[in-house]
Amino acid sequence: MAELPMMPVPVTIKAIVPETPSIRTFYFDPGIPSSPGQFVMVWVPEYDEIPMALSSEHSITVQEVGDATAALFRLNVGDRLGMRGPLGNGFTVSGKTLAIGGGVGVAPLLNLTTAGKVSTFLLGARTRDEILFAPVIASSCNLHIATDDGTEGHHGFVTDLMDGIDLDEFDHICVCGPEIMMVKVLERLKRAGIADRGQFSLHRYMKCGLGICGSCSMDPHGLRVCRDGPIFTGDDILESEFGKYTRDATGRKVYFPSARPEGEIKEEKTET
């Protein structure tokens, strides 16, 4: 195995593209050759280092959710960032592939799509203004859109679109988005007896990104999202913490609303 990078490499922001009211794509140089689904640890000077999926070898697509991403949003063309990567594994596909993405989770699926490896893409967003990369995706594969409020495409959740296709036709189903959404996808794949065909891009709090610190380890088997993932097959996470809770910077469990025991803290947005 190649030696993992330990120090951030400086990159220069070449362009900043507003994608939605809350999401921007930052194009940088030099690029980082990677496989679709891999990520980088992005050092925002004077703030923090956070994991970000690559939307291309020259870009990260970011939603503002906390202090570090807010600091990133204040940067301008010509400013510099530090990046370590690529890290983790990527999507492994062959044959006919279905992609399912929601919100900013569409970003790590973009590389896969533009490489011509996706046959059908189910794209979800809260509203029309939050739909990400639709024209690019539509030029590469068969695109179906769902919005929570019905302002574009199907009125409902992106998982509803799964009812209109034959899942058994696909050799691989690649998924990224809010964990609650991904849980619903996995439930449907399990009912269809094809959980092993699912490939899920997971998000957890990370410190090192190298599999050393254990901050992103998942119960009960200790799978490290940064090193063993971030892409996991559905059968690998069926009996895990997936869809139940994550952990914050202190290691405390942060439960999703549907799985929260009485007295425990609820799931909150993180910069992972």
Q: What is the pTM of this model?
A: 0.92
The terminus-to-terminus CA distance of the chain in angstroms comes to: 25
Q: 10: alpha, beta or left, given left = phi > 0 and alpha = psi -120 to 50? A: beta
**Cβ count near 124 (within 10 Å):** 29
Give the pLDDT score at 7: 82
Give the CATH class of 9-87: mainly beta
Give the pLDDT score at 272: 38
Rounded to whole angstroms, what are the CA distances from 139 to 179, 202, 262? 27, 27, 47
94, 95, 141, 135: which is closest to 120 by C-alpha? 141
Give the pLDDT score at 66: 85
Give the CB-side neighbour count of residue 80, counting CA atoms within 13 A: 6
Give the pLDDT score at 122: 98
Residues 83, 41: contact at Cβ < 8 Å? yes
SS3 of 146-203: EECCCCCCEECCHHHHHHHCCHHHCCEEEEECCHHHHHHHHHHHHHCCCHHHEEEECC
Rounded to whole angstroms, what are the CA distances from 169 to 132, 172, 248? 26, 9, 39
Answer yes or no: is pLDDT of 179 > 80: yes
Answer yes or no: is pLDDT of 20 > 70: yes
Where does the pLDDT of residue 263 fall: very low under 50, low under 70, confident under 90, or very high at 90 and above?
low
User: What type of residue sits at position 43?
Assistant: W
Give the pLDDT score at 15: 98
187: Cβ–Cβ under 8 A, 6 or more apart, which residues?
Answer: none
Write the pLDDT tens digit of every residue in 39-75.
Answer: 999 999 888 899 999 999 999 999 998 888 999 999 9
CATH 3.40.50.80 residue window(s) in the chain: 91-201
81, 93, 122, 87: which is closest to 105 by C-alpha? 122
Give the pLDDT score at 261: 61
Q: 256 or 14: whose pLDDT is higher?
A: 14
CATH 2.40.30.10 residue window(s) in the chain: 9-87
Average pLDDT, the chain: 91
216, 220, 219, 218: which is closest to 204 by C-alpha? 216
Give the pLDDT score at 104: 95
Q: Environment class of residue 223 by beta-carbon count within 10 Å: exposed (0-12), middle (13-18) or buried (19+)?
A: buried
52, 43, 1: which is closest to 201 by C-alpha? 52
Write the pLDDT tens digit of every residue in 144-170.
Answer: 999 999 999 999 999 999 999 999 999
213 known member of a binding site: yes
What sign has the CA pseudo-torsion 138, 174, 218, 60?
A: negative
**Cβ count near 75 (within 10 Å):** 16
Write the pLDDT tens digit of every residue in 79-115.
Answer: 999 999 999 999 999 999 999 999 999 999 999 999 9
Which helix (H) or strand (E) is 205 found in, with range?
Answer: none
d(CA 53, CA 115) in angstroms, rounded, equals: 16
Answer yes or no: is pLDDT of 227 > 50: yes
Where does the pLDDT of residue 1 fall: very low under 50, low under 70, confident under 90, or very high at 90 and above?
very low
- What is the CATH T-level fold of the domain 91-201, as seen in this structure? Rossmann fold (3.40.50)
176 known member of a binding site: no
